[in-house]
A and B are shown apart, each in its own frame.
Chain A
Amino acid sequence: MNADLAGLSFSPLGDRALLLELGGDAGAATVKQIRAIAAFLSEQSLAGVLDLVPSLNTLGIHYDPEAWRDANGKQSPYEQLLQKIQDALTGLASLELADGDLYEVPVCYDDEYGEDLVSLARTKSLPVEQVIEIHCAPVYTVYMLGFAPGFVYLGQLDDRLVTPRRDTPRASVPAGSVAVANEYTGIYPAQLPGGWHIVGRTPLQLFDLSQDRPLLFGAGDRIRFVPISAGRFRELEGARQ
């Protein structure tokens, strides 16, 4: 292999999917490598592959085993596809990947939208203003999407804000809520149950089937949160309708 794929391993995920895993931590560098491999394998148009699902340090590859039916029955579809993927990856020259598009996401951090902001600040022994400042300082990368259509996991969250999920999840979190849990911050694309700490809300719609591009963000895109007032929030929200 040309690219450094040390620590790469494969394992079955049942009889219709497999997992590719990179060793090491699930940090920004690993996430980017997984994305590079996903992009590369996507271009290879491997027979029977239905979905490539990147997460932090793994790539789920869903496939139709019927596409790999072996006439003499010596090799299972899994073994054949695995061989094909390993062969293809020898052609992967580099794990370097251009940065994704950069988006500015307006967020209102006022109490009425960031329900957990005050309690989070208290837990972290920080003034609320500083929590906001820390949260909107970095350029985040969309690490993966999951949990619900369009739910983005963004990293890397500043260490000072890292906190476990709420003990009791809420039955309903409003659409657009910007929240933190563990090493991530995320945005709820719709009204959903959820256990993350809500720090604010964006008027943007992350998943909208009426649009040509129903999903606003994809894995690898970069996001910067821009604080807005409640008045501005309502203005933007109104403009949407």
Chain B
Amino acid sequence: MSLEVLRAGVLTTVQDLGRYRMQHVGVPVSGAMDPYSLRVANRLVGNEEGAAALEITLAGPQLEFHADALVAMCGGDLSPTIRGKTVPMRRPVRISRGNRLDFGECVQGCRAYLAIAGGIDVPQVLGSRSTYVRAALGGLKGRALKSGDRLVTGHTERPRFARLNDCTTFARDGFAAPHWSIQVNPERFLRRPQEIRFVAGSHWESLSAVARDMFTGETFQLGSASDRMGFRLEGSRLEGSERGTVASAAVAFGTIQLPPDGSPIVLMADRQTIGGYPRIGEVASVDLCLLAQLKPGDKLQFRRISLPEAQRLLQTQEKALAKIGETILMRIYQ
């Protein structure tokens, strides 16, 4: 199956779950900003949950399918349509050949994940298909998609949800989807300001009590200079600790750095492997998918939780994901 990019959108890249085992030589992990949505989207089309998919940011692309395809979209709602009709999210969708999937206004969240059965077939680079634009690694030629690009998907052993082809809508609308969908924390997703939970970092205790209270008490706004590397938080400036920089050490997805100017930066998917600013905390992994769906200007608040709590939440999320996976498998092969 192949598809053509008629319009690329603001930033559409190929991403999987990231490039591990290379951080010791300075290669960033990259991968999906909202890995949860990528995993669910992949499962909905019967892929391995870490298969390469498209991460679509804010304003979406227009894609033409050159053959029948099975797709699923999760994460932010960027108003996907085919022939003017809304294409439902969080469920498998069969698209008939020759149709164009068109993304419009971003009505919820910031990043949509489009998984296609078979996964997007680009070469693995250092163990991953994720695009890291800064070093032109992975994805399609190491860059974001451009109009005129052609993407190819991997093979699937047999068509999934093939019965959807028989739906009356398939010929009429160019696509067909089942009535069920997967529910993903909708109530937390819509909350503004978005609550983001974090665990204290190496330098949390060296902040003044005032600065700690500010960080958990005030509302921040996602800055316009935020990108896949880091989210800049605007709002009250936190009084730094005595030292402006600390000995460089490893950082993680969600590390909250405090540069000397007092405006925290949350490190995201394309973060560097090591950093030299004080680390006041790390966002709980379960909330990274919520954080990744904020767009510049969105408001957020931080709430501190303990490390065991963060790891319990993560375990609960993993169990829920496994259950979603089982449900989908049953539907695929029923």
A residues engaging B (CB < 8 A)? Answer: 11-17, 19, 21, 26, 38, 50-60, 62, 65-66, 69, 73, 76-79, 144-151, 153, 190, 207, 209, 214-215, 218-219
The distance from the CB of B23 to the nearest CB of chain A, in whole angstroms, is 4
For B, the interface residue count at a CB cutoff of 8 angstroms equals 42
Q: Whole-angstrom distance between the alpha carbons of A13 and B204 in the complex?
A: 12
Query: Which residue on A lies nearest to B198, using beta carbons?
Result: A14
A12-B307, A50-B21 as given contacts; A19 in contact with B249, CB under 8 Å: yes
> A-B contact count, CB below 8 Å?
137
B134, B135, B251, B272: the one contacting A13 at CB < 8 Å is B251
Query: Which residue on A lies nearest to B20, using beta carbons?
Result: A50
Q: Whole-angstrom distance between the alpha carbons of A13 and B283 in the complex?
A: 10
Whether A150 contacts B247 by the Cβ 8 Å rule is: no
Whether B250 contacts A19 by the Cβ 8 Å rule is: yes
The distance from the CB of B66 to the nearest CB of chain A, in whole angstroms, is 29
For B277-309 the 0/1 string (1 means CB < 8 A from A) is 001001111000000000000000000000110
Whether A13 contacts B26 by the Cβ 8 Å rule is: no
**Residue contacts A-B, CB under 8 angstroms, 16 given:** A11-B202, A13-B252, A14-B285, A17-B250, A21-B249, A53-B274, A55-B274, A57-B247, A65-B311, A69-B315, A73-B312, A146-B274, A147-B26, A150-B25, A153-B248, A214-B126
Whether A53 contacts B282 by the Cβ 8 Å rule is: no
Chain A, interface SS category = mixed
Whether A146 contacts B314 by the Cβ 8 Å rule is: no
B residues engaging A (CB < 8 A)? Answer: 20-28, 125-126, 134-135, 137, 199, 201-202, 247-255, 272-274, 279, 282-285, 307-308, 310-312, 314-315, 318
Q: Whole-angstrom distance between the alpha carbons of A80 and B199 in the complex?
A: 18
Whether B125 contacts A15 by the Cβ 8 Å rule is: no
Across the interface, which residues of B come within 8 angstroms of A76, CB to CB?
A: 307-308, 311-312
